Amino acid sequence: MKAYNIIVLAKQVPDTRNVGKDAMKADGTINRAVLAAIFNPEDLNALEQALRIKDEFPESKINILTMGPGRAADIIREGLYRGADGGILLTDRAFAGSDTLATSYAIGQALKKMGNIDIIIAGRQAIDGDTAQVGPQVAEKLNLLQITYVEEIIELKDKSITVKRRLENGVETVKCPLPLVITVNGSAPDCRARNAKRLMKYKHAKTVTELQKENEDYTHLYNDRPDLNIQEWTVNDIETEASQLGLTGSPTKVKSIENVVLQAKDSKVISSSDSDIEEMMVELLQSHTIG
């Protein structure tokens, strides 16, 4: 095979890595207004793996699929800047409040419509929920094989892929036939930077909704250059059962949210004397902190 059809699943998330004092609201939910919306970091690792496949097989196509509000079109643009060929923003009020089950259902249905996919690559998990469920669930919905915790694609040959998985106690090499779903670890290489020419071109890429909202000076562009139109799919564009969507389709119910502050207990001063050190060793061994 000389070319692969690749879909990268990506999510726009609040940047929880740079949390300030006002990151949480009084009720314990995330205050999205003060946190920048970013490309989920491990999804960028996933995109890099896709781009490396395209480096090797330049005829390959990479499309980004993201589900979220209108502003998540940024995720598609970020993908385009780095080398993706296109993307679809799945956006509709009907998807609001989805847990991982409803999300993977909607994404699965969108992937079915896209069809003919060789490899689906997603980040291991998103930093806002940390569930690591959507990738594997999508594989199950589509009845595809899956490899999680991937750190490196060692070989891609015809209809088979060999990858290195990063596990808690070591690494594992797995070979698997295509098509399949891969989820990528944060320990995989960082995504390459945005490319200057692609940035200058695709900064104009917009969804229909964005075009309608903005007072665009460049309307003619979008007729002349179809690749600047970002596809936007609503619930009407994919085949779905209403009962499996959004809040209705989400069995996960949040009972309450607590604000947990991690605090160190009283500190203990240990001198450099032999007896103190010995005492500390014994204590650490007894508490199974070491050994």
Q: Does 199 bind other proteins (CB under 8 A)?
A: yes
Q: x-or-dash pattern for other proteins, window 60-89, by CB under 8 A?
A: ------------------------------
Q: How many residues of this chain interact with other proteins, rule: CB under 8 A?
A: 15
Name the maximum alpha-carbon separation found in the chain: 81
Distance between CA atoms of residues 83 and 47, nearest Å: 9
Among 58, 115, 168, 196, binds other proteins (CB under 8 A): 196
Residue choice 177, 218, 276, 285 for contact with other proteins (CB under 8 A): 218
Distance of CA 173 to the CA centre of its chain: 23
Based on the shown chain and the rule CB under 8 A, indicate whether residue 195 belongs to the binding site for other proteins.
Answer: yes
Residue with Cβ nearer other proteins (25 or 194): 194
Q: Are strands 37-39 and 12-14 parallel, antiparallel or unpaired?
A: antiparallel
Out of 131, 211, 221, 231, which residue is the one contacting other proteins (CB under 8 A)?
Answer: 221
Q: Is the dihedral of CA 236, 239, 245, 246 positive or negative?
A: negative
- Nearer to other proteins by C-beta: 205 or 245? 205
At position 60, the amino acid (one-letter code) is: S
Determine if 281 is a binding residue for other proteins (CB under 8 A).
no
Phi, psi (degrees; rounded to nearest 5) at 9:
-90, 125
- Candidates 197, 253, 255, 268: give the one binding other proteins (CB under 8 A): 197
Return the structure tokens found at 214: 């903005």
- Contact partners, residue 277, CB within 8 Å, separation at least 6: 270
Min CB(82)–other proteins separation in Å:
9
Q: Does 198 bind other proteins (CB under 8 A)?
A: yes
**Which range touches other proteins (CB under 8 A), out of 97-105, 127-135, 195-203, 248-256?**
195-203
Task: Give the nearest distance from C-beta 221 to other proteins in angstroms.
Answer: 8
> H/E/C letters for each residue in 105-133?
HHHHHHHHHHCCCCEEEEECCCCCCCCCC
Q: Write the DSSP string, 204-264.
A: T-EEHHHHHHS--TTHHHHHH-GGGEEEEE-GGGS---GGGSTTTT---------------
CB of 194 to other proteins, least distance (A): 5
| Phi-psi group of 55: left, alpha or beta (phi > 0 → left; psi -120 to 50 → alpha; rest → beta) | alpha
With CB under 8 A as the contact rule, the residue among 225, 278, 279, 282 that binds other proteins is 225
| Nearer to other proteins among residue 37 and residue 132 (C-beta) | 37
- Least separation, in Å, of the C-beta of 17 and other proteins? 8
Cβ at position 42, least distance to other proteins in Å: 15
User: Residue type for 285, please?
Assistant: L
β pairing state of 229-233 and 170-177:
unpaired
Site for other proteins, residues 165 to 194, rule: CB under 8 A: 192-194
- Kindly state whether residue 201 participates in binding other proteins, applying the rule CB under 8 A: yes
Pick 196 or 261: Cβ nearer other proteins = 196
Question: Beta-carbon neighbour count of residue 253 at 10 Å?
Answer: 7
Residues 2-61 that bind other proteins (CB under 8 A): none
- Site residues, other proteins (CB under 8 A): 192-201, 203, 217-218, 221, 225
